[in-house]
Amino acid sequence: MSRRTWPAQIVCEGCVRPATSLSAARYRQSLTVDTSTRPGAPATPARPARFAIALGVAIAAGVYVWAYARANPDFVSDFDQVWAAARGLWTDRDPYKLVGPRGAFLWKWPLYYPLPALLIASPLGLMPVVAARVTFAATSAGLLAYALSRDGYARLLTLLSISFVTAVELVQWSPLLTAGMLLPSLAWTGVAKPNLGAAMAAYWSSRQAVIVLAIGSAALIAISFLVQPNWAEEWWANVRSAPHFVAPILRPGGVLLLVVLAKWRRPEARLLAALACVPQTPTFYDHVFVFVVPRTTREALTLVVLTFAVYFAVAFAAPFTSFQQWGDFVATATTVFVYAPAVIMVLRRPNDGPAPRALEWLAARVLPASRERA
């Protein structure tokens, strides 16, 4: 775990085909966020308004990261390891030897990012570290704001959550990857964190997003092998040594999250099921993904408040005797206060939506109800 201050200092569109029972137009309307606060208010912001919102959020995030660095000159963000590794690529240094407990860039953990992630960040390796932080955080936050406003204003409440604030402060990848999940043109960013990339893929019904992910990932992986042929072996050895990468379903009560598969036709249901199954670091910032679930202002605000519940639960339970104890508590609190409420939101909705053809084919042969509808 990197050195952190507040809020972490307290601890050591297109779809393949719609379901036959729901037209494509009706399903799209069912996904549209109900953001109207007065009669006649537009459900979906105009594109210029979305650009303006995204620009404002990007500037605010960049200023925050810059001001925080000025006020805390000894602060080390989570992005610094990526910046150091990307910088090393420009001088032909092995990033997996450069970053780590015994590396020239001292870090508590080995480098867990695959080389494609470092290639994505490589232009930032030419900048000073604070400038790189500001650029990455501002770009990620702006793209997330633009993506969240696609169906209305309600999901923009994500920007008030502890999840988003922590992600910006620590300069984490979750805002960028969430934007990549909602904007097919950015689907290729999923290769930066393959575990979360798998969850992103579960969300998609759009063939375009899958193609972008496949082509982008293949290109970045191929370039990675050209740059450093043995990177995959070194990266996998580091990942396998990590004691804290645990799937939520393997933690107490986590397997109950799979009940959301009762609504498997809905993309948000598949996302939650995938997030429950992929190994994750117990954190505050990856909760950003869950904010694709809300459809109304009330649901979004509920999740915002519940992210604060996770934060204060951890604060009141501190101090912890070890990182393992802290991680176990954060993971349990996340399941109770974030994942479980999101699952309840989804279970209240009909099992309708544009599922991938392969999933429809499989369900038609396994589930009698699906066979009748296919």
Q: Is pLDDT above 60 for 63? A: yes
> Residue 89 is encoded by which pair of tokens?
């690529």
pLDDT at position 354: 74
pLDDT band at 24 (very low <50, low <70, confident <90, very high): very low
78-124 pLDDT tens trace: 999 999 999 999 999 999 999 999 999 999 999 999 999 999 999 99
Report whether pLDDT(150) > 60.
yes
Here the tokens at position 224 are 């990675």
Q: Which helix (H) or strand (E) holds 105?
A: strand 105-106
Where does residue 241 rank: exposed (0-12), middle (13-18), buried (19+ CB within 10 A)? Answer: exposed
**pTM of the full structure:** 0.84
Tell me the percentage of the chain whose pLDDT exceeds 90. 71
Give the pLDDT of residue 260: 95
Q: Give pLDDT, residue 324.
A: 87
Looking at residues 230-236, what average pLDDT do you find? 96
Residue 242 pLDDT level (bands cut at 50, 70, 90) = confident
Domain segments of the chain as ranges: 24-33+45-373
pLDDT at 29: 47
Comparing 80-84, 206-210, 229-233, the range with the smallest average pLDDT is: 206-210
pLDDT of 20 reads: 42
Name the percent of the chain lying above pLDDT 70. Answer: 83
User: What does the pLDDT read at residue 3?
Assistant: 44
- Establish how many alpha carbons lie within 13 A of residue 127's alpha carbon, considering only the half-sphere containing its beta carbon: 15
Label residue 319 exposed, middle or buried (CB < 10 Å: 0-12, 13-18, 19+). exposed
The chain-wide mean pLDDT, for the chain, equals 86
Answer yes or no: is pLDDT of 36 > 60: no
DSSP string, 131-144: HHHHHHHHHHHHHH
As a whole number, mean pLDDT of residues 253-273 equals: 93
Give the model's pLDDT for residue 363.
Answer: 67
Tell me the CA distances in angstroms from 202 to 87, 273, 328, one per residue in order: 33, 9, 26
Distance of CA 205 to the CA centre of its chain: 18
Task: Report the 10 Å Cβ neighbour count for 316.
Answer: 8
pLDDT per residue over 109-119, tens digit each?
999 999 999 99
Could you tell me the two tokens for 285? Answer: 């910032």
Instruction: Please check the confidence at residue 153 and state whether its pLDDT lies above 50.
Output: yes
The structure tokens listed for 58 are: 């990007």
**Amino acid 17: pLDDT:** 39
Q: Is the pLDDT of residue 12 over 90?
A: no
| Predicted pLDDT at 124 | 97
Upstream peptide bond of 7 is cis (omega within 30 degrees of 0): yes
Which one is predicted more confidently, 85 or 13?
85
182 or 366: which leads in pLDDT: 182
State mean pLDDT over 29-40: 45
Q: Which residues are CB-neighbours of 127 under 8 A, at least 6 positions away?
A: 135
CA–CA distances in Å: residue 373 to residues 19, 149, 219, 268, 362: 8, 33, 39, 21, 13
d(CA 96, CA 110): 7
